Amino acid sequence: MQSEQVRTRLLRAYPSQLRQEVEEVLQIIPADERTVGDLSPVKVKNETLYIPMRVYFEDINEVAIPNLTPKQKAIMGSLYTRHHNGFVREKWLRQIIEMEEYWLPAFVLQLMGEYVLEIISVLAENESALKKEPYSRFIQENLEFDFCTTQRILSYWNVYYRWRTPHYKDHLPYKLAKNIGLWRLKPARKN
């Protein structure tokens, strides 16, 4: 069971109407006091959510927890997309990306601004899911998120991938962000 501090912090990552569902999921997840910061707040249907930057819970085998409802599985999967281990983030992303919960884009699109290309590839494989209404609404409601994410894409390209992809417009995260409507601003400079 999570401490009161961690529980309170994680409840802020979800819409208030999901409180009971989130509480039930938090009882299953192995306790760990480490969560690292919150990302910039985002809006989902006029409610401010604070998505954790990273969580350190031990990964859980979803087969061992068959009594979860689909919504609870989405909550668990979304929380594990913030895991410190990229393999865990990718595994859970694959399980939730086709789900159509209105709040899921707040978690899934956070992965666009990260540096792990294998996770970006999973997003690209599921581009059609990222063009559905909950994602487009989330992007429209979160201009600051749009700006921060595109800046992260540029920064990670510059530091890690520029040698492999000399022009950012050929970089997979840029192309995907542009295709789903996330990249509305011009980058700081052209190459």
Give 189 or 38, the one with higher predicted confidence: 38
pTM: 0.90
Per-residue pLDDT at 63: 66
3-state secondary structure of 161: helix
Confidence category of residue 190, pLDDT binned at 50, 70, 90: very low
Radius of gyration of the chain measured on its C-alpha atoms: 16
Per-residue pLDDT at 113: 92
